[in-house]
Chain A
């Protein structure tokens, strides 16, 4: 098949895949969190009496939230199906925009549910007791898992650097200067993202409490390692794809080969992440951690506690993690991402202007 035919297949494949993903967003991204939006002590991030979540009003608030999420996903899928133009990069941008919109909508719905819980159910009295074990965390015994954890911690940061070096060695092969600038800026963005993901895994491994996510230090370490593996491998999939795209352009490898490698890998990463997520839900101990006061949680999702040395803590629902915004890590990550994004704008504008001039 010619490259043009491949492109058409990929275009339609991506379009259908993305539309299906939008429809499945609540199931794929929020369902496990929906199920765990409360642990024994909290509902929508508010500390409540333990029976409030199962009460009629608690279930009503939860159902209302879930209905809003589903309706928004259906609306966004319809907008994508009708409005998004063809072309992998254009529909990809649309998809990314709608994903941001969905996250924003979820944030608003979550805040609304939280407000209602606060009015009707809480807050319950907070505990001022904190515990710590004098027993050390047991190091991970399985060498394979230990190796995977380190590889997934380092690779998101290393891959863009290696790709950048290869690009620097052979930059004359690029068709034009704006394309080279754009690729370099894109690599810088990927590198910034990779650095943030590596830093997050480092924080999970070395700067998180050993009583969080699970009361036992060994179980907590296992949970944190698995969570890092899941987040790291998902981000690694995206970063590796970006790096492969850059290198194939540089060495003129056909798109067929590129997609034959990257699609199965992406599919594998999605399945792996789903399995890890189910495993994490099983490993999570609802009785663990959560010793910090309600006032440490700002704007529904953001943790800010200057007296807490932890860089990363469990979210209020217990699923996944939240950065401590009183530490430097989140601000470095935001700063890097914004700088890299701004650096992308100039070369991208030049390419758009060049393409328009050609037409």
Chain B
């Protein structure tokens, strides 16, 4: 299993790095889930790529392994990861839930509302927020 994990992960982009801020208001499991999701959408992680075992990633980040497990479960619920007991987690081959899914759209709207409210309280103008959002979307869609 370790060998499979090693060979599979070596094929990933070298920049597949996670960065979490333990002092942030955003829970660590959400930071991890958000970054892994972004890596999948950007194509840095491809279908079939294995992710590090929960305990290994917890060790590297210096946090409890349940936090990593929660992040993996969140991504599994979204259809982005497959978790096979005894074989770890890998990026799912199927496409994630359709954007037209009303529940997913409602979740997105809710999280966006919270995020926009937070950055507004920190003084960012509406124009700047729209600009940043567009830059992020363009970045995810690629050249």
Instruction: Say whether A138 contacts B16, CB under 8 Å.
Output: no
A56 within 8 A of B: no
Residues in B whose Cβ lies below 8 Å from that of A207: 59
Q: Determine the chain B residues whose CB is within 8 A of the CB of A209 once the complex forms.
A: 59-60, 62
B38 at the interface (CB under 8 A from A): no
Question: Is B62 a contact of A135 with CB atoms below 8 Å?
Answer: no
Give the interface size class of chain B.
20 to 34
| The residue from A135, A210, A292, A308 contacting B10, defined by CB atoms under 8 A apart | A135
In-complex Cβ contact of A135 among B12, B19, B63 (8 A): B12
Contact A130 B9 (CB under 8 A): no
User: B116 to nearest A CB, angstroms?
Assistant: 24
B10 CB → nearest A CB, Å: 7
Instruction: Assess whether A130 is in contact with B5, with CB atoms less than 8 Å apart.
Output: no
CB distance from B45 to the nearest CB of A (A): 7
A residues less than 8 Å from B6 (CB atoms): 136-139
Distance between Cα atoms of A137 and B51 in the complex (Å): 13
B62 touches A292 (CB 8 A): yes
Given contacts A128-B23, A309-B55, contact A134 B45 (CB under 8 A): yes
User: 8 Å CB contacts to A: which residues of B32-63?
Assistant: 36, 39, 45, 51-52, 55-63
Contact mask for chain B residues 59-74; partner A; CB cutoff 8 A; 1 contact, 0 none: 1111111000000000
Interface pair A136/B52, CB less than 8 Å apart? yes
User: Given known contacts A128-B23, A134-B18, is B64 in contact with A309 (CB within 8 Å)?
Assistant: yes
Determine if A132 and B18 form an interchain contact, defined as CB atoms under 8 angstroms apart. yes
Residue interface mask B73-87, A partner, CB < 8 A = 1: 000000000000000
Residues of chain A at interface, number, CB under 8 A: 24
CB distance from A131 to the nearest CB of B (A): 5
Partner of B58, one of A133, A137, A309: A309
Q: In the assembled complex, how far is the CB of residue A225 from the closest CB belonging to chain B, in whole angstroms?
A: 16
Task: Using A307-B62, A307-B63 as known contacts, say yes or no to A132 and B57 having CB atoms under 8 A apart.
Answer: yes
Q: B112 at interface (Cβ–Cβ under 8 A)?
A: no
Q: Which of the listed residues A134, A292, A307 has the most CB atoms from chain B within 10 Å of its own CB?
A: A134
B21 interface residue per 8 A CB criterion: yes
A137–B60 Cα gap in the complex (Å)?
A: 11
| Contact between B60 and A210, CB atoms less than 8 A apart | yes
Contact of A134 with B17 in the complex, beta carbons under 8 Å:
yes
**Any chain B CB within 8 A of the CB of A310?**
yes
The verdict on B22 contacting chain A, using a C-beta distance below 8 Å, is yes
In this complex, what residue of A is CB-closest to B62? A308
Between-chain CB contacts (< 8 Å), 18 pairs: A128-B21, A128-B22, A128-B24, A130-B19, A130-B22, A130-B63, A131-B20, A132-B18, A132-B60, A133-B16, A134-B39, A134-B45, A134-B57, A135-B12, A139-B6, A207-B59, A208-B59, A309-B59
Beyond A131-B20, A132-B57, A138-B6, 18 additional pairs, beta carbon < 8 A: A130-B20, A130-B61, A131-B19, A132-B18, A133-B60, A134-B12, A134-B18, A134-B52, A134-B57, A135-B14, A136-B10, A207-B59, A209-B59, A211-B60, A291-B62, A309-B55, A309-B58, A309-B63
7 tightest Cβ-Cβ pairs between the two chains A and B: A128-B23, A132-B60, A134-B16, A136-B9, A136-B6, A131-B19, A308-B62
